[in-house]
Amino acid sequence: MITAAGRSRIASRADSLDRLRRRRRTIALLAIAALLLSGMTARLFVWPELPSLPSRADAIVELGGPGNRDGAALTLAREHEALILVQSTVAAEAGTDTCLPPVKDVTILCFNADPPTTRGEARYIATLAAERGWRSVILVTSRDHAWRARLRVERCFHGDVYVSMTPLPVWAWPRQIAYQWAATAKAVLLEREC
C-alpha cells in the first residue's frame, strides 16, 4: 500500500520529469530555429546565389550604401562592361553635386532616389531603362544587400539583372545582417510591388 507521502513523491517526480521534457523540447526547438535562421542568413546575405556577370550589359548601376562601391563600379566601367555608369548618391552627398570621376568612353549619370531606399532606386532604374531601351543592368552593391537589391530591381525592371558584390568590412556585418533581415521582411511581406 502506498502512503500519501509516497504518492506525493511519485507525483513530484512525474512533475519534474514533465518539466525536464518540456525544457528539452524548448531547447531543441530553439536550436532548430537558430540553425534555420543561420542557414537562411548565410544563403541570403553572406553567400547569395546570383547569376554570373555577363561580358556586357546596357548599364552599370551603383546603389547607395556601405562598402567600396565607387571603386567596384569604376572598375567595371573601365573594363567596358557597359557604356553607361549610373550612381545613386546618398542623401548626405546630395547637396554636394559630386558624382563619379570620368571614365573614357563611358557616360556617367548620378541621381538621388526618391524615396531614398532600394525601392526608390529600383523605380528610378526602371524609368531610366524604359527611356533608354535597356535590356540588362549590372547592380553594384555590397554582398549583404545583393539578394534584396536584385529582388527590388526585378520587380520594376523586366530585363536581366546581374549583381557585382563588393566586400563589407567585418565590423559592419552584425549591423547589416540585422538591417537586411528587417528590410527583407518589409520587401517580401509588405511591399510586394515595384
Q: Kindly state whether residues 41 and 78 are assigned to the same domain.
A: no
Q: Kindly state whether residues 131 and 162 are assigned to the same domain.
A: yes
Question: Which residue, 189, 191, 173, 186, is CA-closest to 45?
Answer: 173
Q: Kindly state whether residues 119 and 155 are assigned to the same domain.
A: yes
Domain region containing 14: 1-47
With respect to residue 54, please indicate whether it lies within any of the assigned structural domains: no
Q: Compute the distance between CA of residue 102 and CA of residue 107 in angstroms, rounded to an integer.
A: 8
Beta bridge partners of 141: 165
Q: Kindly state whether residues 38 and 65 are assigned to the same domain.
A: no
Q: Kindly state whether residues 32 and 69 are assigned to the same domain.
A: no
Q: Is the Cβ–Cβ distance between 153 and 122 less than 8 Å?
A: yes
**CATH at 111:** 3.40.50
Length of the chain: 194
With respect to residue 142, please indicate whether it lies within any of the assigned structural domains: yes
C-alpha cell at 178: 540585422
With respect to residue 102, please indicate whether it lies within any of the assigned structural domains: yes
Q: Is the Cβ–Cβ distance between 94 and 176 less than 8 Å?
A: no
Q: Kindly state whether residues 22 and 74 are assigned to the same domain.
A: no
For residues 17 and 25, the model is more confident at 25
Q: Compute the distance between CA of residue 144 and CA of residue 66 in angstroms, rounded to an integer.
A: 10
Q: Kindly state whether residues 11 and 106 are assigned to the same domain.
A: no
pLDDT of 29 higher than 90: no
Q: Kindly state whether residues 171 and 147 are assigned to the same domain.
A: yes
Q: Which amino acid is at 12?
A: S
What is the pTM for the complete model shown? 0.83
For residues 34 and 175, the model is more confident at 175
Question: Which residue, 93, 147, 96, is CA-closest to 118?
Answer: 147
Question: pLDDT tens-digit profile of 63-107?
Answer: 998 888 999 999 999 998 899 999 998 655 445 556 889 999 999
Q: Is the Cβ–Cβ distance between 156 and 125 less than 8 Å?
A: yes
pLDDT at 99: 85
Q: Kindly state whether residues 43 and 63 are assigned to the same domain.
A: no
With respect to residue 53, please indicate whether it lies within any of the assigned structural domains: no
**Domain tally, the chain:** 2
Q: Compute the distance between CA of residue 91 and CA of residue 132 in angstroms, rounded to an integer.
A: 25
Indicate the DSSP class of residue 107.
E
